[in-house]
């Protein structure tokens, strides 16, 4: 069989483009902000992970410019060899102090962080137990580790305990969970996870990519939210969301960080974060520490938008965690989702389609996410547009295409 046969048969993109509902790679002509210029017209942005609104902050941009002027545009090597700047070390020190952990190491991307941490810390004789709704990078990290992977039903602590009971007593165990789940917008059950970790002698890793700057009184994430920072063995996070940059990190005990730093292939064999990105993340972290009210502003906007969407009878997914600035809207079918996103973009609202395999087949959603600098006026405008599409346009689509998937 020809290796490229699968490429020739891959026609979902072609079909979506022919039907003018292809929802990806829309082009911005402005910076990432609460209102953007996308493909020539004004669009309210509720599909970004710019949670604290810092990507356009003048201090963050100035820090990036100064870093380029001093260090140039790149590091031309890995952290392991010639690619370590004093900026990298300062960012790691600042983060460790902020997160109340012994040490931090940084990776070039968030995805690479999970690959690098999990594949280094777990091996062939270990077990990794994952929440079924964990991020794709966690699953790829598990594959790269060669450890035995088990999965438990989403946030189901009874199922997690059942999986823990199946692990031989002489094996190492790593429990891995998202802190804030990026699709559903709910929070892991950290107190129960900690109790099970202790009961079965496991270690606990929390992916806080969507938790840092989002929850906790000071924005330190899931551990701070529950008052259990000391009980999380490994914290993973990213700079591409609340910290307005690019890259990722691991926070843990000093000896654990030192081990990963010297054994993680994705870390050792990747070029280090460019100077501008490091400086941007450092400045964003400084602003978060200086202005913790941004976290409260973000939570207030999320709560307000939920009430506005409910006022418009939009079918949002209910949650026990209304402070989370991720609101999924149920659309169910893939093409129905694409069609809704097309209409919303045409009417001035950008949202993200989430279809299988990101979500189960038949459970597609529109994922909306919010920013601390959004205003109530903008949210009302966006909610009214979304409401009209769901009230008037999608019923017509359903009549025309009753079997659409």
Sign, CA torsion 327/331/333/337 = negative
Q: How far apart are CA 113 and CA 342, in angstroms?
A: 33
CATH architecture of 5-56+293-400: Alpha-Beta Complex (3.90)
Per the annotation, the verdict on 369 as an active-site residue is no
CATH class, 58-290 region: alpha beta
Tokens of 402: 């009753």
Rounded Cα distance, 23 and 351, in Å: 10
- Which structure tokens are listed for 384? 């009214």
**Cβ-contact 251, 234 below 8 angstroms:** yes
Residue-level pLDDT at 123: 96
Q: Which of 210, 225, 283, 342 is catalytic?
A: 210
pLDDT averaged over consecutive 10-residue blocks of the chain (405 residues)? 92 88 94 95 97 97 98 96 97 98 98 98 97 96 97 98 97 98 95 98 98 97 98 98 98 98 96 98 98 97 96 92 93 92 97 88 94 98 98 87 69
**Which one-letter DSSP state was computed for residue 28?**
B
Q: How far apart are CA 332 and CA 174, in angstroms?
A: 34
Set 88, 135, 197, 241: catalytic member: 241
Domain ranges in the chain with CATH number 3.90.1150.10: 5-56+293-400
Report the alpha-carbon distance of residue 241 to residue 248 in Å, rounded. 10
Confidence at residue 360, expressed as pLDDT on a 0 to 100 scale: 84
* φ, ψ (nearest 5 deg) of residue 403: -105, 15
Q: What is the torsional sign of CA 320, 325, 330, 333?
A: negative
* Contacts within 8 Å (CB) and 24+ apart, 36-45: 36/350, 38/345, 38/350, 41/348, 42/348, 43/345, 43/348, 43/349, 43/350, 44/348, 44/349, 44/350, 44/378, 44/381, 44/382, 44/385, 45/350, 45/371
- Residue closest to 150 by CA, chosen among 83, 109, 110, 200: 200
**Which has the closest alpha carbon to 215: 173, 184, 176, 185?**
185
Catalytic residue among 137, 145, 182, 280: 182
**pLDDT (0 to 100) of residue 12:** 82
From residue 181, alpha-carbon distances to 16, 185, 209, 212, 285 in Å are: 28, 5, 9, 12, 22
- Structure tokens, 305: 């938008």
Half-sphere exposure of 216 (CA within 13 A, CB side): 23
Instruction: Confirm whether 210 is a catalytic residue.
Output: yes
pLDDT value for 405: 59
Residue 126, both tokens:
């270990």
Q: Where in the chain is the domain with CATH 3.40.640.10?
A: 58-290
List of residues 6+ apart from 334 with CB closer than 8 A: 355, 356, 364, 405
Q: Which residues contact 4 (CB under 8 A, 6 or more apart)?
A: none
Q: How far is CA 85 from CA 18, 80, 107, 251, 279, in A?
A: 49, 11, 13, 19, 11
Instruction: Report the distance separating Cα 96 and Cα 235, nearest Å.
Output: 11
Whether 241 is a known active-site residue: answer yes
DSSP secondary structure letter of residue 271: B
In the three-class reduction of DSSP (H, G, I as helix; E, B as strand; rest coil), residue 192 is classed as: helix
């Amino acid at each position: 069989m020809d290796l490229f046969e699968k490429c020739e048969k891959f026609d979902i993109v072609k079909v979506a483009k022919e039907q003018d509902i292809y929802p990806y790679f829309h082009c911005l002509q402005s910076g990432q902000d609460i209102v953007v210029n996308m493909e020539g017209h004004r669009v309210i942005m509720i599909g970004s992970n710019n949670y604290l609104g810092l990507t356009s902050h003048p201090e963050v941009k100035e820090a990036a410019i100064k870093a380029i002027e001093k260090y140039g545009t790149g590091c031309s090597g890995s952290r392991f060899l010639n690619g370590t700047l004093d900026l990298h070390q300062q960012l790691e020190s600042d983060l460790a102090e902020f997160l109340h952990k012994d040490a931090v190491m940084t990776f070039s991307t968030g995805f690479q962080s999970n690959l690098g941490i999990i594949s280094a810390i777990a091996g062939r004789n270990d077990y990794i137990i994952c929440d079924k709704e964990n991020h794709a990078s966690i699953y790829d990290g598990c594959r790269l580790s060669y450890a035995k992977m088990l999965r438990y039903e989403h946030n189901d602590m009874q199922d997690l305990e059942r999986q823990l009971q199946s692990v031989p007593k002489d094996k190492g165990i790593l429990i891995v969970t998202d802190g804030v789940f990026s699709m559903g917008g709910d929070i892991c059950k950290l107190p129960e996870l900690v109790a099970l970790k202790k009961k079965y002698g496991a270690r606990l890793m929390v992916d806080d990519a969507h938790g840092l700057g989002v929850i906790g009184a000071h924005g330190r994430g899931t551990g701070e939210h529950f008052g259990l920072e000391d009980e999380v063995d490994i914290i993973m996070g990213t700079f591409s969301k609340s910290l307005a940059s690019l890259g990722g990190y691991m926070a843990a005990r000093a000896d654990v960080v030192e081990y990963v730093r010297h054994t993680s292939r994705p870390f050792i064999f990747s070029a280090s974060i460019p100077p501008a990105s490091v400086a941007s993340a450092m400045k964003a972290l400084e602003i978060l520490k200086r202005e913790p009210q941004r976290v409260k502003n973000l939570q207030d906007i999320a709560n307000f938008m939920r009430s506005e969407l409910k006022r418009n009878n939009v079918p949002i997914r209910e949650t026990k965690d209304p402070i989370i600035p991720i609101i999924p809207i149920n659309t169910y079918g893939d093409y129905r989702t694409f069609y809704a996103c097309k209409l919303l973009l045409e009417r001035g609202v950008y949202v993200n389609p989430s279809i299988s395999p990101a979500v189960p087949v038949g459970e597609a959603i529109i994922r909306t996410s919010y920013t601390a600098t959004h205003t109530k006026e903008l949210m009302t405008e966006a909610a009214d547009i979304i409401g009209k599409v769901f009230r008037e346009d999608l019923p017509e689509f359903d009549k025309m295409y009753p079997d659409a998937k």
